[in-house]
Amino acid sequence: MQDSLLIKLAVVILFLPLIGFIVTVFFGKSVKKVYVFENLVLIASFILASILLYGKLNYYIDTDLFSEFEWINLGEVPLLGLISIKLGLMLDNVAAIMIWTVMLISLVVHIFSIDYMKGDIRYNHYFAYLGLFTFSMSGIVLTHNILMMYIFWELVGLSSYLLIGFWFEKKSASDAAKKAFIVNRIGDIGMFIGILLLFITYQTFSFDSIFIQLADGKLPFNSEFWLTATGLLIFCGAIGKSAQFPLHVWLPDAMEGPTPVSALIHAATMVAAGVYLVVRVFGMLTGDALLIIAVFGALSALIPATIALTQNDIKKVLAYSTVSQLGYMIMALGVGAYTFAFFHLITHAFFKACLFLGSGSVIHNMHHEQDITRMGGLRKKMPLTYAAFLISSLAISGVPLTSGFLSKDGILAGTYAFASLTGHWLFPLVGFFVAMLTAFYMFRLIILTFHGEPYDKEKYEHAHESKFAMAMPLVVLSILSIFFWYTPNPIDPGEGWVLSKWIKTPEIFTPVETRYDFMKPDENAAVDHSSAVVYSSSYTEAMHNAHYPAMFLSLIVAGLGILLAFLFYQWKRIDPDKLANKFKPLYNLSYNKWYFDEIYDATFVAGTLMLSKFLGWFDLKVIDGIVDGSAAVTKGFSKFSGMFDNIVVDGLVNFIAILSGFVGLIFRKMQTGKVQTYIVMVIFGLVILLFLFKSF
Amino acid sequence: MNIYDAIFYLFAVVTGLSAFFVVTTRNIVYAAFFLLFTFFGVAGIYVLLGADFIAIVQLIIYVGGILILLLFGVMLTNKITSVQIKTGTLQIVPAAVGVGLFAGFLIAVLTYTEWKTVDTALPLTTTEFLGVMLLQEYLVVFELLGILLLIALIGAASIARR
Amino acid sequence: MEYFPILSLITFLPIIGMAIILFIPKTQTLIIKSLTLLVTGIQVILACFILYYYDYTLGGINDPASFQFIEKFRWIEISGISWIGTIKIDYFMGIDGLSVPMVLLTAIITFIATLSSWTIDRSVKGYFVMFLLLDTGMMGVFVALDFFLFYIFWELMLLPMYFLIGIWGGPRREYAAIKFFLYTLLGSVFILIVMIGLYFSAQETLQDGTKVFTFNLLALMDTGNYLTTGILSPLNPLNLRLIAYIALFAGFAIKIPMFPFHTWLPDAHVEAPTPISVILAGILLKMGTYGILRISYPVFPDITHQLVWYIALFGMINIIYGALCAMAQKDFKKLIAYSSVSHMGFVLLGMASLNTMGISGAILQMFNHGTITAMLFLLVGVIYDRTHTRGLDDFGGLAIQMPAYTGFTMVAFFAAIGLPGLSGFISEAFVFLGAFGVETIRTLTIISTLGILLGAGYMLWTMQRVYLGSLNEKWSNLKDLDIREYLMLAPLSLIIIFLGVYPSAMLDLMTTSVNSMVKFMIDSKAIFSSITGF
Amino acid sequence: MIQVGLNHFLVLSAVLFSLGIFGIVTRKNAVMVLMGIELILNAANINFIAFAKYGNFGYQGQLIALFVIVLAAAEAAIALAIVLNIYKTFSTVNVDEIDTLKE
């Protein structure tokens, strides 16, 4: 297998969904069955992605493949020399695994949607949008270039807009779509400025050549501060797209879209793009930048987890848990646990997609009922969904033998090791606390939905297990949530092939003095540059030491969370309502999502609208008023001069006219109408002229 | 006073007098005949000025053409048999005064002006030179005149027929 | 092709068409319309010819040898008028990378505006006569290289515009037309003054060695041609160049329109009939920025360097202020008019950067804004034709009733808010890339990026109010697009998408010129500092 | 008596010219008016030829005189046609009775 072939394969994978989109959107109206084409395209790209993954991991496991072409050539630019902007693909292990994940989840969502969306008036368009999304997401994954990433970044935003607002007849849906796009844009502006900084520093957008120049010591404005700032600005994009605090508000609203879409975009893939972006630029982030990123991650892990505790909408709970889990990943990246962050990204993608599709299955069969307090007892009616949901919940809670346990434990160990090396003990604290909360709210969800007595008998009676097309994806995804796909040893992820061979911590390119202490190369190891281990041995040691304490602690907190959930809701030993009344302010804070929407509405949105209203008024009244005023003054003046003209000047003219009329009356007599008389007069005139001009 | 001068005065008197009669006589037919003499006189003047060809043309066209035409005009517009061929005059006094003054000034201007004169000795026959000029330098004008005449011919016919 | 006067042809073809239309009885409206369509169609073909024969490697700007399709001959020559001396004015046309995109834009937009004019039913003959006259004026501005000729075309376009708004416009048409006319006339006066000032400041050396006063723009760009005593000479101690520059800039800025001279635009747009709005937004606004690039910049490079910060400031104000004002509007057309203000701010910002990326971004933005805004106005025209209302709150749910129409709207809207893959993105990105690279205006650039956000805000809000939501019952029998409307909208959206995916098609046309312009600006800075010592 | 020179011819032509004008102005009959015009033309011709001789213009003066004669012929033809027309319309050729210009 040749590397050029792999790249070509990647190109095909990238563009197949676009073809699917174009065909489906144009023939969506005329050809009823065109959605089949889109599904076939997705199957094809999934197969190709599998081949790609196999080829990459088997033959090129340690080489990154590149391919690029010139997109824009600005020629010989004065002062800067030749500038051209290139686009292209990069295929490393991370990208290969990610593209496979994206394609797999996209495929199962497609298949799930065939039944779920049946009967919708824009059925074909729905699949077209899914194709567009898959295309843009693949672009983000495969790019080697930050401008191209931004391009696909925005395209993903577009497809997300289209899909969230798919049922745009509902005002809440179109509101949510608008909100998602605009909130994402806020983050994107930061990212865009970061890109601008990178470009004016390095005159290129490609990751590799930026890294090479960075390793040579070229910094933005020659200052480490600006390198940190650039990293953080790029991270702004991730804040927006991965719905991190404080821009997380769009994601719960985005649940207005069809549930499979939530599974694909707002749980598994698109929101992961932010994490993926940080993964990509990890090599240029300084210690300070990483620390701030970790803080944002920790906050995003904590706040939505507390909100998820009290939500009653099944999809909202899952949405907040998504934000929380993404916060985990970001935090993990911030503390340097790169491999575990990416690992969690993959495992999370599977089990969260499974959870969402499971909730979709429930919602579908409960006739679009989303309130978990109105469900209950569905375990008997929908055993398969229940099983899948349970496995995924165990995974997200971090129970052993699941994939989630492996990755989450790694992240917690990473924070633990980080704390032991640097003394920031708040990170592991938050990590473990959130792990408990996660276990609690996930099992609250399961118990309220599947256990206990049905709330609405009639709906309960009509509920039934989903058909094959909807059940199959759940099975596939839940099987992928079990440990043995990733490692033979269910308690130590480090022994698995994913972490030992496939994903490695990348080289760090930032100047040594700006890194975390543990990321500085050891003096004795510095000789061996080719080694993939870029952290100092102290980190390896700390990580090793952290492994078992972290694992036990996480087991304990997960168990505690599950136990609490059972106590509250299954066995009803503690009345949640009483507790809620007791801690009314806290409950309200959580129930109302910490009032983020209200605060933003009252400040930024209202402020902008008021400013715009004011400026609209200002423009109409003041600026245009000045224009009209000057026109009025001119007009007044012209009126005056008009009067002057009428009375004085025109009076004079009229007087002359009257005078000449009078004279004319006299001379009228001379107008005989006979030519000859006129000639006589001419002659007299000539004589007079001759007399006047006589020169003698 | 040489013979040249004498001939000049002769022709000048003939021209002037007959012109005077043209404009003063009441009978149109007489006026036409006096006009004939005027043309003759002018032709003589032309000869004196060395323009023999022009003089002949003057005779042929004016006398042979225009004058006959005018006579026809008289005949056609005055029914000879019934109506007198005499014509009235009008505003003689102001016209006489005006024209007199005008003529005086004109003559004064013409005589008091210092004309830069070069007495060129022209060859006796001018026909050949005129012919060459007409067909070479002034060919376009010549052609245009031809067209003009044609147009005048057609125009006159069409106007008269209307 | 060497000596074929293609520029004159493309410029005066509409006049010929106009002359023919004058002889057609006014009841034959179909013939008149078809003839106009034919004329504008030929213009598009000629523009394609120009594109085909255009040499990408020639720079233009200040070097007469690298202009293309040059037509130059003595046009007016009056010798010996007392103290003015001999007046010699050239008929001088030629194009370089700055003008080629504009010529192309003019041809395309005019053609599409003709299609859009099909619905005009009031005194059709007069309308198309004015329309074609306007066409000549616009095309002429973009190909003239002699200031005098430029000015003539500039003014030529004013009058038909006045009538087109004033006769075929909406209810407040007289007010809007007069406002437009007076405003732009004021600008023209400024330009005229500076033009005359320049005329008496510089002398061009002819081939036979004699020196004459000149309107030739290329000669005016050469500092060596200025008389020491000239009013606007760099050597003149009075330093009137700054004032002249500001006057000239103001003259062009009114056309852009730059804050605070922009208020004619919303009125003119709202009252003008759809095709005229299209031309107004698509072409006329570009003349201001084109004039600055073609005349203000190279003739006054010294002052330009001094005032760059202010240009960027006004660009920023345009972006933010226009966007915020757009957000407050309730009338669809007014909203788009203010969005034009905002988008033209990007052009100003890009020009202020004085580097390759910024200026190519600005020119590209001029082209893209021309196509995008034209499309937006056409889209408004489509529903206005059907419903006779433009209130944003009068609609809702049109996406259900008119899916194809909504599809086109999506393309235009997302292009307007700079979505990658559509043309608006590239130009905005280039503008920012360029402007960000200049240290003095970096802060302004960062503030300007807010414009992207606000743009998304008002566009999506409009989208929601007009197209999404439940269908307003009043409009339940609206028809979707017909063939003619497809013909107008499809080419524009194709251009938008094509340039979004492959911007090099347009950028390659201009890069050489932009590079030589930037080089010229840098070089002239050195020249000026050596002359005047500042 | 002085030698006959340019001035003599010029005076003669001036006299002829004035008489022509006098004729135009005073005569009632349109045909007579035409005759006056012929006199004026002749006066002009004399000037042309005189200057041709004394002003060193070569033959051009004579040529112009020739052209004038031709024009006179054309003019006479047209004018007579008009006179005939007037006669048909007004039944008179007396120009003093034709004063529609007054209104």
Q: For B108, which residue in chain A has the nearest alpha carbon?
A: A696
Q: For D27, which residue in chain A has the nearest alpha carbon?
A: A676
Q: Which of D39, D67, D40, D37 is nearest to D52 (CA)?
A: D67
| Residue from B102, B107, B110, B114 to probe the interface with A (highest A Cβ count within 10 Å) | B102
Which of A272-276, A515-519, C485-489, C503-507 is predicted least confidently?
Answer: A515-519
Complex confidence, ipTM: 0.66
Whether C532 maps to a domain, the answer reads yes
| Min distance C111 CA to chain A CA atoms (Å) | 26
Cβ separation A696–B102 shorter than 8 A: no
Q: For B112, which residue in chain A has the nearest alpha carbon?
A: A696
| Min distance D23 CA to chain A CA atoms (Å) | 10
Three-state DSSP state, A520:
coil
Whether D81 maps to a domain, the answer reads yes
CA-derived radius of gyration, chain C = 23
Q: What percent of chain C has pLDDT over 90?
A: 23
Whether D95 maps to a domain, the answer reads no
Q: Are C and B neighbours with ≥3 CB pairs closer than 8 A? A: no
For residue C271, CA distances in Å to A478, C274, C287, C327, C376 come to: 62, 9, 21, 20, 16
CATH number for the domain spanning D33: value is 1.10.287.3510
Q: What is the pLDDT of residue A335?
A: 85
Whether C47 maps to a domain, the answer reads no
**Helix ranges (DSSP H) in A203-313:** 207-215, 224-241, 250-253, 259-263, 270-281, 287-308
D49 contacts in chain B (CB < 8 Å): 45-46, 49, 51, 54
Per-residue pLDDT at A611 exceeds 60: yes
Number of domains observed in the structure of chain B: 2
Strands C85-95 and A65-77: unpaired
DSSP class per residue in B107-146: HHHHHHS----B-----S--HHHHHHHHHTTTHHHHHHHH
Whether C388 maps to a domain, the answer reads yes
Measure CB to CB from residue A75 to each of C182, C458, C512 and give the nearest one: C512
Average confidence (pLDDT) over D92-100: 66
Q: What is the pLDDT of residue C465?
A: 86
Q: What is the pLDDT of residue C1?
A: 44
Cβ separation D21–A672 shorter than 8 A: no
CATH number for the domain spanning B99: value is 1.20.120.1200
Cβ separation D56–B118 shorter than 8 A: yes
Whether D67 maps to a domain, the answer reads yes
In terms of Cβ atoms closer than 10 Å to its own Cβ (0-12, 13-18, 19+), residue A601 is middle
- Indicate the angle between helix axes C504-532 and C99-116, nearest 10 degrees: 130
Measure CB to CB from residue B101 to each of A676, A687, A694 and give the nearest one: A687
Number of domains observed in the structure of chain D: 1
Chain B contact present for A692, CB below 8 A: no
Whether C131 maps to a domain, the answer reads no
Residues B2 and B73 in one domain: yes
A679 contacts in chain D (CB < 8 Å): 21, 24-25
Last residue of a domain, one of B96, B113, B130: B113
Chain D contact present for B112, CB below 8 A: no
B92 contacts in chain A (CB < 8 Å): none
Q: For A687, which residue in chain B has the nearest alpha carbon?
A: B102
* Separation between Cα atoms, residue C52 and residue A446, nearest integer Å: 68
Q: For A679, which residue in chain D has the nearest alpha carbon?
A: D25
Chain B contact present for D26, CB below 8 A: yes
Whether D34 maps to a domain, the answer reads yes
For residue C442, CA distances in Å to A83, A221, C165, C361, C438 come to: 21, 13, 40, 16, 6
A683 contacts in chain D (CB < 8 Å): 21, 25
B1: pLDDT confidence band, cut at 50, 70 and 90? Answer: low
Chain D contact present for B70, CB below 8 A: yes
Per-residue pLDDT at A391 exceeds 80: yes
Whether C129 maps to a domain, the answer reads no
Cβ separation D25–A673 shorter than 8 A: no
Q: For D67, which residue in chain B has the nearest alpha carbon?
A: B145
Number of domains observed in the structure of chain C: 1
Cβ separation D95–A676 shorter than 8 A: yes
Measure CB to CB from residue D25 to each of A671, A673, A676 and give the nearest one: A676
Per-residue pLDDT at A444 exceeds 80: yes
Under the phi-then-psi rule, with left for phi > 0, alpha for psi from -120 to 50, and beta for the rest, what region is C500?
Answer: alpha
Cβ separation B15–D82 shorter than 8 A: no
Find chains touching chain B: ≥3 CB pairs under 8 Å.
A, D
Measure CB to CB from residue A690 to each of B90, B94, B105 and give the nearest one: B105
What are the structure tokens assigned to C100, written together? Answer: 């080629």
Q: Which of residues 82-101 of B touch A (CB under 8 A)?
A: 90-91, 94-95, 98-99, 101
Residues B82 and B19 in one domain: yes
A161 contacts in chain C (CB < 8 Å): 460
D96 contacts in chain A (CB < 8 Å): 674, 676
Cβ separation A677–B112 shorter than 8 A: no
A74 contacts in chain C (CB < 8 Å): 356-357, 360, 507, 511, 515
Q: For A71, which residue in chain C has the nearest alpha carbon?
A: C504
Residues B34 and B88 in one domain: yes
What is the span of the domain harbouring residue B130? Answer: 122-162
Which of A186-200, A370-384, B28-42, C42-56 is predicted least confidently?
Answer: A370-384
Residues B55 and B76 in one domain: yes
Q: For D22, which residue in chain A has the nearest alpha carbon?
A: A680
Q: Which of C110, C136, C108 is nearest to C50 (CA)?
A: C108
Residues B99 and B25 in one domain: yes
Residues B107 and B126 in one domain: no
| Residue from D1, D3, D53 to probe the interface with B (highest B Cβ count within 10 Å) | D53
What is the span of the domain harbouring residue C305? Answer: 300-534
Report the amino acid identity of residue D95: V
* Separation between Cα atoms, residue A264 and residue C201, nearest integer Å: 69
Whether C51 maps to a domain, the answer reads no
| Min distance A33 CA to chain C CA atoms (Å) | 19
Cβ separation A174–C433 shorter than 8 A: no
What are the structure tokens assigned to A463, written together? Answer: 């509920």
B146 contacts in chain D (CB < 8 Å): none
| Residue from A690, A694, A695 to probe the interface with B (highest B Cβ count within 10 Å) | A690
For residue A686, CA distances in Å to A78, A635, A681, A682 come to: 77, 50, 8, 6
What is the span of the domain harbouring residue D76? Answer: 6-90
Residues B107 and B132 in one domain: no
Whether D1 maps to a domain, the answer reads no
Q: For B86, which residue in chain D has the nearest alpha carbon?
A: D29
B89 contacts in chain D (CB < 8 Å): 26-28
pLDDT, one tens digit for every residue, chain C (534 residues)? 456 788 888 999 999 999 999 888 888 888 889 999 999 999 999 999 888 888 888 887 778 888 888 888 888 777 665 555 677 788 888 888 888 999 999 999 999 999 998 888 888 888 999 999 999 999 999 999 889 899 999 998 888 998 898 888 888 888 888 888 888 888 898 899 888 888 888 888 777 777 778 888 888 888 878 887 777 777 776 678 888 899 999 999 988 888 888 888 888 888 888 999 999 888 999 999 999 999 988 888 888 888 889 999 999 999 998 898 888 888 888 899 999 999 999 999 999 988 888 999 999 999 999 999 999 999 998 888 888 888 888 888 888 888 888 889 989 999 998 888 888 898 999 999 889 888 888 889 989 988 888 888 889 888 888 888 888 777 778 888 888 888 889 999 999 999 988 888 888 888 888 888 888 888 888 888 777 654
Q: Which of C218, C202, C195, C226 is nearest to C61 (CA)?
A: C218
| Min distance D100 CA to chain B CA atoms (Å) | 18
Q: What is the pLDDT of residue A527?
A: 44
Per-residue pLDDT at B143 exceeds 50: yes
Find chains touching chain D: ≥3 CB pairs under 8 Å.
A, B
Three-state DSSP state, D31:
helix
